[in-house]
Chains A and B, each alone.
Chain A
Amino acid sequence: MTQQDGKKSAHPSGDNRFKLLDRAITKHQASGYSLIEILHVAQGIFGFLENDLLMYVANALKLPPSRVYGVATFYHFFRLKPQGEHAFVVCSGTACYVKGAIEIQKVLEHECGCKFGETTKDGSVSLITARCIGSCGLAPVGVLDDVVAPKLTPDEALRRVRLWKEQKKEVAA
């Protein structure tokens, strides 16, 4: 696949998900200005943005690859690596900070053996910080697999993570 050939064809892998992506690209008339919109769609479909996928977007939108990579890495929302099975987001906004979010982060890092921004070695949990999810009235707030957990405590956070781990063990058994 080169930048110059300009043809938009189905992905050589035959992966049907690219059809969905193509639809979004067509909706935006393959405009380079819609790069961020397209990356949102691509991440929604594929879960994360692999180099191969970014190259596909670059070709479709006729943008230089380095521009696409630059945009994808500029924004926190875009992931270049796959996420764990579960995502534990702890809000790090000011209200949550004042109400002790850092304590929650500490116990989670200790429990999971990885830092925020990383995924546990077994790929089960990703620890993520969010820049204020805007639920400051309920601080400190966590988001566990897209479900908001208000007025979180370190103990409750631990309990929830351990629950995930047990579920995993049960599935394995």
Chain B
Amino acid sequence: MTIDELRELAENERTRQKQYISRILYCSSAGCLSGGSDSVKAEFKKAIEEKGLGKTCELVGTGCLGLCGEGPLVLVQSADMTLYQHVDAKTARRIVEEHIVSGKKVEECQIDVNGPFFSSQKKIVLENMGKINAESIEEYIAAGGYEALAKAVTEMKPEELIGEIRKAGLRGRGGAGYPTGLKWDIVRKSVSEQKYVVCNADEGDPGAFMDRSVLEGDPHRVLEGMAMAGYAVGANQGYVYVRAEYPLAIDRLKLAIKHAEKLGLLGNRIFESQFSFHIDIRIGAGAFVCGEETALLRSVMGRRGRPKPRPPYPSEKGLWDKPTVINNVETYANIAPIVRNGSAWFAAIGTQKSPGTKVFALAGKINRTGLIEVPMGIPLRKVIFDIGGGTPEGSEFKAAQTGGPSGGCIPKEHLDIPVDYESLQTVGSIMGSGGMIVMDSTSDMVDVAKFFMEFCMDESCGKCIPCRVGTKHIYMMLDKVIRNEATEEDFALLQELCVMVKETSLCGLGQSAPNPVLSTIRFFKDEYTVKLKRATEFVPDEGNGAQ
């Protein structure tokens, strides 16, 4: 395929879409599917056929529409955009019969697309959600897909491409925020005949579903980003390491790879250049620690996912000891827009130190749960109260938890901090991959800490002692606090142990496992101290010497 052929394909697809007066885009992501969007789809299909609208109305399964808590969601694209929530088969029929046929909207199911949930967001990674068919490469191409790859391999030198990414200031979206361009540059400069590109799609944080939504709704975006990484560093093989818990994402990825290979957008001599790139999928098997890069690479090679001491870093010695780029899904999803729109465009979004946007999965005790994308630096308050609509009536906001089991709880008094890598760290949390769980007064923070510690304990690989045994003891101590059996001394030891596990563990899992405990102690110390037991004191001469 050449660039011209790509543009022709895009044009044809756009023409094809234009023949429809209206398009019904139903959410086909896992969230709405479990809410019954399959039967909604069937009913739409039936109704369209019955009304003989096959030529004027197209039914499309699209990516996540955001408001997952109100699904199944359906977007109707005609003269304007109309978004419907809680759509069941009956509503689906009404949408066809009333909205499509007579132009009369089904008002009781309508959501305002200009409401604060939507207007405060800025979509880059999620730009195609609700626009294209998640299973069609043509629709991705019609939306500008693979243009960036074409531009990169035909017009740019690898170092120019990396230069763009560096100028854009893109930082790793997996949580640590390492500059992506810098990472790529290290791999590019290392001398090796074989190099690899790996995509970390092992989204293991409980309470996070950003990467899943991207893979389900717009898989080509990730493949395109990976291919550009391959071009930039000189790799011809990529692996996507995806959780087994995401069967739909795996299916869509497989399909996307097949389609891309068929069109020659992956494979040998892409865009008739010297660049070849293949992508294979590796399916994880349920181990949170495999989100740690050295563990992930071992898992890709069919081993136990046990981390290795760094250095050497994967950029020097990764898969099969070859230089390896490893980034997460969202990072790769940002590459194509940067190349398409230029680094200056990207750098202007967000903050100076953390440019761009961040996708969050908003959940917990909050009115609007779902998938959102916001510019970096947005105040936390705005995310929770404007976009999320605050906590349900009658309950009061207590804390927002970010960063999953590696993160911390941010209390009320810090609601005004900007959401970026550095600011979150100052309050003892981390950006993490993007899970944001809101807690209200019904959550006991010691119990919350115990919940996360149980997770870390179960997920510890068992290699290093501080994490293997330390997390177990922290968990037991928290349980002791909850049972009102811990003393002041135990509480002091708990804190000492947390710091020790943090500073001596081998990998990120152990080093960050105490964070939820330390952060809840920092902001909700009272909840611990009221549960402590007073130690028995020696009272001379008043003892009851009975036996």
Contacts and interface: CB of A to CB of B under 8 A. Distances in A.
Given A32-B302, A77-B244, A131-B455, A94 B31 contact: no
Contacts of B203: 134
A90 interface: no
B337 interface: no
B69 A34 contact: no
B512 to A, nearest CB: 15
Interface stretch (B6-14, B162-170, B258-266, B282-290): B282-290
A112 interface: no
A98 B245 contact: no
A134 B285 contact: no
A139 B365 CA distance: 10
Interface residues of A, number: 38
A131 B459 CA distance: 10
A132 B299 contact: no
B63 to A, nearest CB: 14
Contacts of B288: 131
Interface string A93-120: 1110111000000000000000000000
A114 B244 CA distance: 26
A97 B451 contact: yes
Interface stretch (A1-9, A68-76, A159-167): A68-76
Contacts of A134: 30-31, 203, 208-209, 212, 245-246
A100 to B, nearest CB: 9
Contact of A94 (B282, B364, B369): B364
Size bin of chain B's contact surface: 35 or more
A141 B30 CA distance: 12
20 contacts: A36-B284, A37-B283, A71-B302, A75-B287, A76-B285, A78-B285, A94-B404, A94-B435, A94-B452, A95-B437, A98-B365, A131-B288, A134-B209, A135-B209, A136-B68, A137-B31, A138-B31, A139-B363, A148-B30, A148-B33
A5 B203 CA distance: 41
Contacts of A92: 206
Nearest to B439: A98
B443 interface: yes
A10 B89 CA distance: 50
B90 interface: no
A137 B369 contact: yes
B34 A141 contact: yes
